[in-house]
Amino acid sequence: MDNKAIKITSTQEETYTLISIELDGVIEPSDLKSLTGLPDIVSESRAHLGIVLSGRAPIWLYGYLIHHYHPCAWVAVYDPRLGAVIVQSHDKKYTAGDIIPVSI
Amino acid sequence: MDNKAIKITSTQEETYTLISIELDGVIEPSDLKSLTGLPDIVSESRAHLGIVLSGRAPIWLYGYLIHHYHPCAWVAVYDPRLGAVIVQSHDKKYTAGDIIPVSI
C-alpha cells in the first residue's frame, strides 16, 4: 500500500472479503486520486463473494469504496452496534437492509 | 413520502439534484426495505445531471443511496467542512475526489 494517509487491508473470509480502513492523520478528498493498491477483488475472481467495509472514515471515502466494489455479489458496511449492513446486492440471498453477523 | 423514520426530499439545481436526508428518531437497516418515494431521477430524465447527497445519516443509508443513484452522471456527498465531494463519476468533467462548491 503506497497511500500514506489511507491504509486499506483485506482479509479473506469464506463468503466475503473484509476490507479494513485505517486512517493516518487527516485525509482530504484529493487523496482519492492517489489511492492505489486497493484489493483487486474482481481480477482475483472473488467478485462472486461479498465485501464488508469496516473502519472509521468519512462518508465520502466509504462512498468511493462502495462504488469501487459494486461488481461484487454484495457490499455491506460494518456498524459496530449492528453487524454488517447490506447496502447493495446482486445475490438473491440478500437484500439491502439485511444484517450479516461478522466477527471483526 | 411514506417513510416515517427516513425523510428524503429533493431540490433541482441547474447541474445537479440535491437529495436531502432527514431522520425522525432512530432508524434501523430494515427501514431500507420499506423506503419508498425516492426521487426517481432516472425516469424523470435527470440522470445526465449529478446528485448531491446531504444530511446526517448512518453510512449504510448513504451507501444505499449512493448505489441507488449510480446511473446518474455523478454522485457527491456533502461535507459541511469541504463542499460536495465527488465519489463516482461517469462525466469526464469530474473525477472522484473533486470538490464542487454547492449552496446548502
What pLDDT is stored for residue A83 in this prediction?
A: 96
- Chain B residue numbers with beta carbons less than 8 Å from the beta carbon of A32 are 87, 96-97
Q: A65 to chain B: nearest residue by CA? A: B87
Instruction: Kindly determine whether residue B70 and residue A70, on different chains, have CB atoms separated by under 8 Å.
Output: yes
What pLDDT is stored for residue B43 in this prediction?
A: 72
- Residue from B64, B69, B94, B99 to probe the interface with A (highest A Cβ count within 10 Å): B64
Average pLDDT over residues B69-89: 95
For residue A73 the three cell numbers come to: 455479489
For residue B27 the three cell numbers come to: 432508524
C-beta atoms surrounding B75 within 10 Å: 30
Q: Dmax over Cα atoms in chain A, in whole Å?
A: 39
- The ipTM estimated for the assembled molecules is 0.91
Q: Which residues pair with B82 in a beta bridge?
A: none
Contacts of A41 (CB under 8 A, 6+ apart): A17, A47, A49, A51, A69, A71, A72
Q: Which of A12-16, A64-68, B45-49 has the lowest mean pLDDT?
A: B45-49
Of B33, B60, B87, the CB nearest to A60: B87
What pLDDT is stored for residue A39 in this prediction?
A: 85
- Smallest CA–CA separation between B82 and chain A, in Å? 9
- Smallest CA–CA separation between A91 and chain B, in Å? 15
When pLDDT is cut at 50, 70 and 90, the band that residue A3 belongs to is: low
Helix (H) or strand (E) holding B7: strand B6-12
Q: B69 to chain A: nearest residue by CA? A: A67
Rounded-to-integer distance, Cα B59 and Cα B101, Å:
22
pLDDT of B73 above 60:
yes
What pLDDT is stored for residue A1 in this prediction?
A: 44
What pLDDT is stored for residue B83 in this prediction?
A: 96
What pLDDT is stored for residue A4 in this prediction?
A: 66
What pLDDT is stored for residue A41 in this prediction?
A: 81
What pLDDT is stored for residue B1 in this prediction?
A: 45
Q: A34 to chain B: nearest residue by CA? A: B97
Q: Which of A58, A48, A71, A62 is nearest to A19 (CA)?
A: A62
Average pLDDT over residues A68-81: 94
pLDDT of A42 above 80:
no
Q: Which of A20-29, A55-64, B32-41 has the lowest mean pLDDT?
A: B32-41
pLDDT of A65 above 60:
yes
Average pLDDT over residues A40-47: 76
- Smallest CA–CA separation between A85 and chain B, in Å? 6
pLDDT one-digit tens code per residue, B5-64 = 899 999 999 999 999 999 998 899 999 998 988 888 877 777 789 999 999 999 999 999
